[in-house]
Each structure stands twice: as structure tokens, then as C-alpha cells.
Amino acid sequence: MEDTPHRDEPQTEPCPLDQLAARLSPPPSSLLYPESPSGIWELSTMGTPNDQAVLRAIFNPDTPFGDLVGLDVEEEVEKEEVDEDEVFPRAQLEQSKALELQGVMAAEAGHLSTALERFGQAIDLLPERASAYNNRAQARRLQGDVAGALEDLERAVALSGGRGRAARQGFVQRGLLARLQGRDDDARGDFERAARLGSSFARRQLVLLNPYAALCNRMLADVMKQLHGPRNGR
């Protein structure tokens, strides 16, 4: 005879393993900045832990927490950059990238006014290139100018045509801002678009927005309590 569940125990769907794994993923020790010529820049120890967390989320939206970026992903990102930038004159493109890199370094050092100036110069040089708008949006967000950041992100997404790395970054940034403003439905839509473009970070954010995420957190807390609690001696 089959056992029947107790009526006082609510029936819930099991917590998917990928969601549980996402809760356990440790933060990365180093960060990729995709617009730098060398490909890798470590963020400085600027300001408070909250400042550093904002920098990690904003200047490196596509690095998944706890994952290592493989060579195949790096090659794909490099190919995307070539495809997106091949329409621009080479000399102006190199100058624009140099200005953006200067802006990133200024932001890492806490000089946001200088960063905004450099990103603005890059936009003036190539106003149809989406990357500089993404970067300026990031710096504006750090300054607390959410409206200005959203304006730049709208422009970046429009210029990208919803394709490639610039679009992926724009969707991720806009999704983060939507979450900060409590607009979870808008955030979910942007993270879904970014995930379809290959963003592992966006996929993890979708896990957090999943209605079963709270259940997973409770289950994980119970497991950790049992692991670290006193043994029954059975």
C-alpha cells in the first residue's frame, strides 16, 4: 500500500539542482574588462565593499560568479568585437577605445568626473558606437544619476540593434537598474534578452527572480544548519 502525504505538509516542486548550485557559487577573485586592449584588468579596492560590489556588477556584467571564462568564450567575445567594430574607421576606433580605457581606469580610482569626461569624448568621436554609451551609463550609475544611465542604455541598445556584446551589456545594465528600482518584470525581460545573447550573469539573475528561489534559500539554510549543528548521537 502506497504512503500518502500528510495533509498538513504543503506540496512544493523540488528545488532544481542548477538553482541550488547557483546559490553556492563563490565570487570571482579577478575580473575581465571586455573593452580593454589586454583583456584583463583587476578592479582596485575603491571605497566601501558596496562600491566594490557595484563596480563588479557594472564593469563586469558578463563574468559569471564562480565560473572560469574558457578560451572558447574569449574567442567568441573577440569575434563579436571585431564584427561590431569593423564598420568604424580604424584610427578613430583605436582612439575611442583608448579613451574608454582611460575612463575605466579613472572610475576604478574613484575619479568619476574624469571617467565621464573620457567616455563623453569617446562618444563625440564615434557617436554611433554603442560601447561608449554603455560605459558612460556605468559611470553615471556610480554617481547616482539613474535617469542619465537609463538614457545612455536606451541609446546603446538601439545602436546595437539588439545584437552582439554591446546589446548584451546594455540589457544586463538596464536589468540591474530595473531590479534596483523594484521593477522585477522589466528586469526579467532584460535578463532574458541578455541570456539569449550568452550572458551567464543574466542567467543567474533569472534564477534569483525565479519564484522558487526563496524556497531554495530556505532549503539551503536548513541543510547548512544540519551540517553545522550539534549531532543527535544516533
pTM, 2 dp: 0.61
Residuewise pLDDT in 10s, the chain (234 residues): 445 444 444 444 444 444 444 443 333 333 333 333 323 233 333 445 544 544 555 445 444 333 323 323 434 444 555 467 888 999 999 999 999 999 999 998 999 999 999 999 999 999 999 999 999 999 999 999 999 999 999 999 999 999 899 999 999 999 999 998 989 999 999 999 999 998 989 998 888 887 666 566 667 777 777 776 665 554
The predicted pLDDT at position 225 comes to: 75
Distance CA 122, CA 103 (A): 9
> What's at 208, amino acid-wise?
L
Number of CB atoms found within 10 A of residue 225's CB: 9
DSSP-derived secondary structure letter, 140: H
Contact 198, 80 (CB under 8 A): no
Contacts (Cβ under 8 Å, ≥6 apart) of 72: none
**End-to-end Cα separation, the chain, in angstroms:** 29
Distance CA 155, CA 151 (A): 6
The predicted pLDDT at position 80 comes to: 54
Q: DSSP per residue over 71-92, as a string?
A: HHHHHHHHHHHHHHHTTS-HHH
* CATH number, domain 20-222: 1.25.40.10
Find, among 69, 41, 67, the residue nearest to 55 by Cα.
41
Domain ranges for the chain: 20-222
Q: Which residue has the cell 563623453?
A: 120
The predicted pLDDT at position 213 comes to: 62
Q: Which residues pair with 40 in a beta bridge?
A: 32
Q: Which residue has the cell 563563490?
A: 26
Distance CA 81, CA 1 (A): 63
Q: Give the distance, in angstroms, between the CA of residue 10 and the centroid of all CA atoms in the same chain.
A: 35
